[in-house]
Structure 1
Amino acid sequence: MTGKTHITGGIAASLAFAQITNYDPVILLCAGTIGALLPDICHGGSKMGRSFPVLSKIINTLFGHRTFTHSLLFLLLAGVLLNALSVNEAASAGLLVGMASHLILDMATKNGIKLFFPLRVTVRFPVTATTGGLSEYAVFAVLSVLAVYYGYSAFSIYF
């Protein structure tokens, strides 16, 4: 999936999560957007990879693309680290929800992900989308509608 689809997925997921928690939806939204981009730090051409090129190169050299940073292990370690650093609970939750949305979206691509890294098993859905193709645009459109729906619900208290 492309960056814009991951961003939209992170927005939709974090706003949906806001519906079942008492966390501030603004914090969830901001953190979820960042979290949705974070797993692609392993790819030098991604938004995160271009923002942190040295770190991206190191991670890619050590693990490759769609392995460690696209795994449940990475999600678990991120949660432990965020908890150890006493990061705001809403920010931590938003980051993790955004990261999870990224993994789910990449499981919907032909290449899949190494969800159970360090095991070399590739996980993907039976029906996949082509990155940048018409099917991804359909996913993007659905996520956009969901983001608006959940955004309206999350922020309706302000109107």
Structure 2
Amino acid sequence: MQYRTHITVSLAVGLPMLAAVDQVTFINTAALVCGSVLPDIDHPKSFIGKRSQVVSKVANKTLGHRGATHSLVVAAGVYLLALFIAKAYLATAAMHLPFWLLIGYLLHLIEDSFSKNSIHWFWPFSKFKKSARKRLFYYRTGHVSEYLILGFALCLLLIELNLLWSGHLTSLFDHGWAASLKLLIAKLQLLLLPH
């Protein structure tokens, strides 16, 4: 998936999550966006790889594309590093930053799981990738299937932004299953963020 699709899909999924716990801020949204492109640091021609050439080339040569950086192990490592930096150097306004960086990172992994080549979720413990032929739905990067996903996510994001602007996005989470999602996010934050 190209960076613009990762960002759009991650925002379309993440913005309602941010709104559910009333944490729609520039810092949290930026953390979500950064997390949504960070796993592709292992590809020198990716959006983030072009902006960090040395790290990208080293990661690509040693780990390959969609190797370690596309795993839960590295996602946990990135989260712990962000947590340390936030606790040691950032103001209280950025206390949720590590959580939203992790959410963006995990959304990237989920999105790439549906690509034709999939990912190694449990690297280095398992090299298993689910074959595209055994899945009901998959997309190919840079092909029509990805652009359809991008178009749908963009339409959804525009609707969400309109609801956010009018003040109705947060009210969607007051009833039913959406209230359960709000509670789940709040409990995850309690579990993952220091008090």
Question: TM (normalized to structure 2)?
Answer: 0.74
State whether structure 2 residue 32 is matched by structure 1 residue 17: no
Say which structure, 1 or 2, has more relative contact order (CA 8 Å, 6+ apart): 1
Deviations 1:67-87 (A, max 9, x none): 111111111111111112225
2:107 corresponds to which residue?
Answer: 101
Question: TM (normalized to structure 1)?
Answer: 0.89
1:151 corresponds to which residue?
Answer: 161
Greater mean alpha carbon deviation, residues 40-49 or residues 117-126: 117-126
1:136 corresponds to which residue?
Answer: 146
How many angstroms apart in 1 are the aligned matches of 2:13 and 2:130? 21
Larger C-alpha radius of gyration, 1 or 2? Answer: 2
1:71 corresponds to which residue?
Answer: 71
Give, as a single letter, the amino acid of the residue that structure 2 aligns with 1:105: E
Q: Do the aligned partners of 2:15 and 2:24 also contact (CA within 8 Å) in 1?
A: no
Q: How large is the Cα RMSD of the aligned pairs?
A: 1.9
- Secondary structure of the corresponding residue to residue 31 of structure 2: helix
Give, as a single letter, the amino acid of the residue that structure 2 aligns with 1:77: G
Deviations 1:104-144 (A, max 9, x none): 11111110001111121114671111111111111111211
How many angstroms apart in 2 are the aligned matches of 1:71 and 1:152? 34
State whether structure 2 residue 29 is matched by structure 1 residue 29: yes
**What residue ranges of structure 2 are gaps of 5+ in the alignment?**
168-195
Deviations 1:31-77 (A, max 9, x none): 21111111000001001111001000111122111011111111111
1:110 corresponds to which residue?
Answer: 116
Query: Aligned pair in 2 of structure 1 residues 102, 7: CA closer, same or farther (>3 Å)?
Result: same
Please report how far the alpha carbon of residue 18 of structure 1 lies from its aligned counterpart in structure 2 after TM superposition.
1.0
Q: Do the aligned partners of 1:18 and 1:154 also contact (CA within 8 Å) in 2?
A: no
Identity rate of aligned residues, in percent? 31
Q: Do the aligned partners of 1:42 and 1:60 also contact (CA within 8 Å) in 2?
A: yes
How many angstroms apart in 2 are the aligned matches of 1:74 and 1:154? 33
Please report how far the alpha carbon of residue 91 of structure 1 lies from its aligned counterpart in structure 2 after TM superposition.
2.0
